[in-house]
Homo-oligomer: A and B are copies of this chain.
Amino acid sequence: MEKFELHILGCGSALPTTRHFPTSQILNVRDKLFMIDCGEGAQLQFRKSRLKFSRLNHIFISHLHGDHCFGLLGLISTLNLLGRTAELHIHSPQGLEELLKPMLDFFNHQMTYPVVFHAFETKEPTLVYEDRSLTVTTIPLRHRMPTCGFLFAEKPRPNHIIREMIDFYQIPVYELNRIKNGADYVTPDGKTIPNSRLTRPSDPPRSYAYCSDTLPLASVVEQVRGVDLLFHEATFVEEDAARAKETYHTTASQAASIAREAGVKRLLVGHFSARYDNEELLLEQARAVFPETLLAKETLCVPI
């Protein structure tokens, strides 16, 4: 099966701790790398992950809080030192380009590659990226400023042709695309060979949803229904639910409720408050609601 795996570069929240970096993740889809959020130190963690900088072409920023984007300056500068020439696309809510541009201009006299900023609206789900095999759609969230999560969805793939059957029936090459897409084959003497004899189904398309930072939202449940992996922020334990609400964050059990209602396959929680010495209580509270819950952790890699 082709690669579709998530690397956690950082899963802490705004205050630094001795255990966590601020938020950043890399989704590896068939060796194309997509970065989600870019907190301070993201490039250092990226390097540690042994993934290749050159495979990164798109960065998605959920919102303009420092713990989700202060790593951009360093990462962009490093790619410049490395002599990158390919465009780097940064997708974010409005405002990032204006903020970063003066610093990028000063700190990188001669850019070896273009940084292309794309601002997305944050009210409605919006397609922000598409290629042959993948779409990325925003997931509107509710935080203290315009914020979106991201839904990464593989496109359904055509069935696989069974080479031996093609040979057996001496099917001409120009028929193959139709057959891949589900058509039956009619032999020269008028016999119909059903598609199911000629192909086997491809792997079902996989999906990953990222939701941080946000209050728990019913609209998220709808949008992430059935995904293979849901990352949802779980900044606080249930006992700090009032604080979660006040700061527009989610508790571990609220995140788990969303996972359960949306019928996702697995839940990964992160964006942990600095107030906890470890995250065992968060995990316990989430698993009480949704057993298939994992804790995010720096250097964790989750195959999807």
Contact = CB atoms under 8 A, between A and B. Distances in A.
4 A-B pairs with the lowest CB-CB distances in the bound complex, closest first: A40-B74, A41-B41, A66-B107, A66-B77
* Number of identical monomers bound together in the oligomeric complex: 2
Interface stretch (A98-106, A170-178, A203-211): A98-106
Interface of A: 14-18, 21-22, 40-41, 43-44, 46-48, 64-67, 70-71, 73-74, 77-78, 81-82, 95, 99, 102-103, 106-107
A147 B188 CA distance: 82
Contacts of A74: 16, 22, 40, 66-67, 70
A95 B103 CA distance: 11
A42 to B, nearest CB: 9
A81 B14 CA distance: 8
A6 to B, nearest CB: 20
B103 A16 contact: no
A48 B81 contact: no
A102 B105 CA distance: 14
Given A16-B46, A40-B40, A103-B103, 4 more contacts: A14-B78, A16-B47, A16-B74, A16-B78
A66 B43 CA distance: 13
Nearest to A107: B66
A103 B96 CA distance: 10
